[in-house]
Amino acid sequence: MSTYAQEVKRVTTHTLQEMKNRGEKISMLTAYDYSLATLVDMAGIDVILVGDSASNVMAGHETTLPITLDQMIYHASAVVRAVKRALVVVDMPFGTYQGNSTEALRSVIRIMKESGGHAVKLEGGQEIRESIIRILSAGVPVMGHLGLTPQSIYKFGTYAVRAKEEAEAARLLDDARMLEEIGCFGLVLEKIPAHLAQKVAESVSIPVIGIGAGGGVDGQVLVLHDMLGINQAFKPRFIRRYADLHTVITGAIQQYVTDVRNNDFPNENESY
């Protein structure tokens, strides 16, 4: 009897490139734990991002800056144990790659050896070029991330749309071309004007995945807890809610509390 693991064909960076070449859109979502990663993978997602948004979503921090390398490895290894099909990309946390390329490589080696992830994502362009080259030279696939890069929130001062001005848009396009040239397998564009994102996707041959970057790119990524409606406090216009799990989960828990208080749970069939 064949298992799900034996039946499925794994998504690789090459699969994503072929999808872009064929004009097929790529789907990507975050996951941070075994149980939800199992569901995300079985539902047919192409790429699972173990995002440093775990810092917000899992740990309740205000920004992505506090999450550590050890914590990212913990989340990533749980996701990797769940996933049979999707490509698992792991975010490099703030402070583990910006210093120099040796430090970047050391951090990546820990991620790859200890989590079993398939690729890493780094935020930034020209300023982290050397680190990316060093990581790529070790045979580790790298995804870039431009536009709104949350690890730089204190430089930006706001989570507003980036690259609306011509100079920043031109820099972003140059960075995207540079990331392609040095060998990144893909690129995330976050919260930039749709026309700019489309121009980037048409200017580079590698897959460009958008979040708040319109429909003219090669694929989309969302934070799982946002699209499932678990987290209702965060509602920028680029999020589409596919479920209202906040209501479903709190409703179920309220019912459980009522049943326990009324001695309705457990009943005879639920007892030994």
What residues line the site for ligand KIV (CB under 6 A)?
30, 49, 51-53, 91, 188, 190, 211, 221, 223
Q: How far is the CB of 140 from ligand KIV (least distance, A)?
A: 18
Q: Which of 114, 166, 168, 190 is catalytic?
A: 190
- Chain residue whose CB lies nearest ligand KIV: 51
Nearer to ligand KIV, 30 or 198 (CB): 30
Q: Please report how close the Cβ of residue 236 comes to ligand KIV at its closest, in angstroms.
A: 11
Minimum distance from CB of 214 to ligand KIV (Å)? 15
- 268: annotated active-site residue: no
Residue 70 CA to residue 81 CA, distance in Å, equals: 17
What positions carry a catalytic annotation? 190
